[in-house]
Chain A
Amino acid sequence: MTIRKTPKPKPRAASDLELLRRHEPIVRYTKGETFFPLEVGTYLAHATLWERDANGQARVLAKPGQLTPANIGELVADVEGRTFLNVATEASAADMARAILPGQRVQAEGFRRGPGRLARVGYLSRLADALFAGSLLLRGRVPGGIARSSALWYRATAPDGPHPYYGRVLRDAGWTVLQYWFFYAYNDWRSAFHGANDHEADWEQITLFLSSEDEGAPVPRWAAFAQHDYHGEALRRRWDDAEQLQVVDGHPVVFAGAGSHASYFVPGEYLAEQELRLPRWMHLIAGAIGRLFPGEGADRGQQRLVPIAFVDYARGDGVSIGPGQAREWSPVLLDETQTWAFDYAGLWGVSIQDPFEGEDAPAGPVYNRDGSVRGSWFDPLGFSGLDRVPPPEDEVQELVNRAEGVAAERQALSSEIDDIGRQLVAAGAELEAIRHEANLQHEAEQVRAQIAELRERNRRQRLALTETHTRGEAIERRRERLASGIVDAPRAHVTRIATPTPAGSVAYGRVLELWAALSIGLLLIGLVVALLAAPAYGVIAAIILIAAFVFIESVLRGTVVALVNTVSVALALIASVILAIHFWVPLVIAGAIVAGVFVIAQNLRELG
Chain B
Amino acid sequence: MTGSIAHPDEEAIQRPRPRMLLLVPVLVILLAEAAYQVLSAFTNLRELGLHSRAPAVAILFAVLNLVASVGLVSGMRLGWILAMSLAGWNVGYFLVLWWIGEPAWIGMTLAVVIVFLLSSREMRRAYRAHGA
What is the interface of chain A, defined by CB distance below 8 A to chain B?
293-296, 557-562, 564-565, 567-569, 571-572, 574-576, 578-579, 582-583
Contacts and interface: CB of A to CB of B under 8 A. Distances in A.
B84 A562 contact: no
B132 A561 contact: yes
A248 B22 CA distance: 58
A574 B95 contact: yes
A435 B90 CA distance: 76
Contacts, number: 69
A579 B115 contact: no
Contacts of B109: 579
A565 B119 contact: yes
Interface stretch (B8-16, B24-32, B60-68, B123-131): B123-131
Main secondary structure of the interface of A (DSSP, over half): helix
Contact of B94 (A561, A568, A575): A575
Interface in B88-132: 88, 91-92, 94-95, 98, 103, 105, 108-109, 111-112, 115-116, 118-119, 121, 124, 129-132
B88 A293 contact: no
Contacts of B81: 560-561, 564
A578 B108 CA distance: 10
Nearest to B127: A561
B124 A565 contact: yes
A518 B131 CA distance: 25
A306 to B, nearest CB: 19
A582 B105 contact: yes
Given A293-B119, A294-B121, A564-B84, A572 B131 contact: no
Contact of A564 (B85, B98, B103): B85
15 contacts: A293-B119, A295-B131, A558-B132, A559-B131, A561-B129, A561-B131, A562-B132, A565-B124, A567-B88, A568-B91, A568-B115, A568-B118, A569-B115, A576-B112, A582-B105
B108 A568 contact: no
Contact residues on B (Cβ < 8 Å of other chain), bracket: 20 to 34
Contact of B91 (A294, A558, A559, A571): A571
> When A and B form their complex, which 9 residue pairs have the shortest distance between CB atoms, in order from nearest?
A568-B88, A572-B115, A571-B91, A562-B131, A572-B112, A568-B115, A559-B132, A575-B112, A296-B131
B92 A578 contact: no
B60 to A, nearest CB: 18
A575 B116 CA distance: 12
A294 B123 CA distance: 12
A568 B124 CA distance: 14
B87 A568 contact: yes
Given A569-B115, A582-B105, 20 more contacts: A295-B130, A296-B131, A561-B129, A561-B131, A562-B132, A564-B81, A564-B85, A565-B124, A568-B87, A568-B91, A568-B115, A569-B116, A572-B87, A572-B119, A575-B95, A575-B111, A576-B112, A578-B98, A579-B105, A582-B103
B97 to A, nearest CB: 11
A567 B116 CA distance: 12
A571 B131 contact: no
Nearest to B82: A564
B20 to A, nearest CB: 22
Contacts of A576: 112
B84 A568 contact: yes
A583 B132 CA distance: 36
A534 to B, nearest CB: 18
B112 A579 contact: yes
